[in-house]
């Protein structure tokens, strides 16, 4: 399904051709994100993502760029994570050459004009304020800082006000010139891909600077007991993340953790949704996810709960974790969880954009793409014994972590709920 090739400068190209598809997607993904920043650059990876849309010599303004993509009815966006950054255009297949040309022009020839940077600072600062006002989102920042502390994995992707306010063209170039190099780029094409589009990729991206040395900051953490961090905010609902440290993407247990996670908090028939919301009415939303980087991760339960019943919500979640570790899943829910994962995966890669996102992200972050069939086979290979084993390994009472955003100032009350004595009572 995928064809991997290399340009002379080392840029990888990943192509999935479907001649019957009416659309196509061009994606440029860099194996670089906020995890690669130093303290004085905190937020610059995300800020740079914004600035790549602000004008080149050929397309001097942001409007000039957007007019070209709007003129073909294209879907045009970008995203910044901690380990990767992506830029894409999805369009009718006949316009794929233009999509590639626009992306190449943006990513190799953006001006990073000082006046544009100053204007965009206000946008970034407002984005930062918006996230602070969204407790369901902001609790993730609190949790990351709790786990990883004052390290790149613990910092907010959007950055700090001081860095954003002080950003200069030189600061952008110090980051981009260091990390946006050929060895960290995958250019992906999917859908009805023409030979001319492939040629356009070679033309546009052969100018990316050659490889250099260096990698992301190592994951650092230590923990000898439960940890809690509370962010005070007057609200009618409390938002919490309750989790344990878990292996990252490099672990052979990643798919066993995925099946376990689906049983625990995937969908409206999961254990957590059934018990915490439907039976006890303690929350509006509750789900779990494996928040995984290459070499570190966490299995996290997220919930928005009644502020007066938060203690009961926490203890109920802990009881569900313990039950899964002690008893494992039954055959019916185990089968359902695997079918749930496979179904979600198939739906995610059924269109060109989802498919190339899957392939390119795996290639650029993990150093090797998988075909969709390999991912489905990996889910199938998980056994009930695997699920119970990883549950027992992960749900260790000494490794619990809780982040809360709500009308509370006392972290100690929550620490008591996470203690081993409470867990075994």
Name the residues annotated as catalytic: 49
Q: DSSP readout, 241-279?
A: EEEEEE--TT-TTHHHHHHHHHHHHSSTTSHHIIIIIII
Distance between CA atoms of residues 8 and 182, nearest Å = 10
Q: Per this entry, what is the length of the chain?
A: 425
Tokens (6 digits) for 192: 């009805």
202 forms beta bridges with none
CB 260 within 8 A of CB 391: yes
Tokens (6 digits) for 374: 């390999």
DSSP state of 110: B
Distance between CA atoms of residues 30 and 281, nearest Å = 43
* H or E stretch at 384: helix 384-394
Q: Three-state SS for 223?
A: coil
Distance between CA atoms of residues 140 and 133, nearest Å = 13
Distance between CA atoms of residues 275 and 281, nearest Å = 8
Tokens (6 digits) for 172: 């952008």
Distance between CA atoms of residues 265 and 263, nearest Å = 6
186 forms beta bridges with 12, 29
């Amino acid at each position: 399904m995928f064809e991997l090739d290399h340009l002379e400068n080392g840029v990888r190209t990943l192509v999935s051709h479907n001649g019957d598809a009416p659309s196509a997607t061009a994606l440029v993904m860099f194996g670089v994100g906020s995890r690669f920043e130093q303290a004085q650059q905190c937020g610059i990876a995300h800020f740079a993502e914004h600035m790549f849309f602000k004008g080149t010599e050929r397309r001097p303004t942001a409007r000039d760029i957007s007019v070209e993509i709007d003129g073909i009815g294209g879907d045009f966006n970008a995203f910044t994570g901690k380990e990767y950054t992506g830029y894409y255009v999805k369009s009718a297949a006949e316009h794929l050459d233009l999509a590639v040309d626009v992306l190449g022009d943006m990513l190799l020839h953006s001006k990073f004009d000082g006046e544009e940077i100053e204007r965009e600072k206000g946008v970034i600062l407002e984005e930062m304020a918006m996230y602070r006002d969204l407790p369901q989102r902001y609790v993730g920042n609190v949790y990351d800082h709790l786990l990883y502390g004052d390290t790149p994995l613990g910092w907010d992707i959007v950055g700090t006000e001081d860095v954003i306010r002080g950003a200069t063209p030189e600061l952008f170039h110090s980051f981009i010139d260091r990390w946006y190099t050929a060895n960290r780029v995958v250019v992906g094409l999917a859908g009805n891909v023409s030979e001319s589009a492939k040629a356009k990729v070679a033309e546009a991206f052969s100018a990316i600077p050659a490889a250099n040395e260096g990698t992301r900051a190592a994951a650092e953490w230590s923990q000898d007991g439960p940890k809690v961090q509370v962010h005070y905010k007057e609200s009618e609902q409390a938002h919490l993340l309750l989790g344990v440290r878990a292996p990252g993407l490099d672990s052979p247990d990643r798919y066993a953790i995925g099946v376990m996670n689906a049983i625990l908090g995937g969908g409206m028939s999961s254990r957590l949704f059934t018990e915490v919301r439907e039976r006890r009415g303690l929350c509006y939303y509750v789900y779990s996810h494996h928040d995984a980087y290459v070499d570190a991760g966490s299995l996290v339960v997220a919930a928005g709960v009644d502020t007066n019943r938060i203690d009961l919500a926490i203890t109920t979640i802990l009881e569900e974790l313990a039950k899964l570790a002690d008893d494992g899943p039954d055959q019916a829910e185990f089968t359902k969880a695997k079918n749930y994962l496979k179904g979600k995966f198939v739906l995610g890669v059924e269109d060109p954009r989802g498919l190339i996102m899957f392939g390119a992200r795996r290639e650029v972050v993990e150093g090797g793409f998988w075909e969709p069939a390999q991912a489905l086979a990996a889910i199938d290979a998980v056994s009930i014994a695997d699920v119970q084993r990883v549950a027992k390994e992960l749900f260790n009472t000494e490794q619990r972590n809780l982040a809360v955003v709500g009308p509370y100032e006392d972290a100690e009350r929550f620490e008591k709920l996470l203690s081993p004595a409470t867990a075994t009572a």
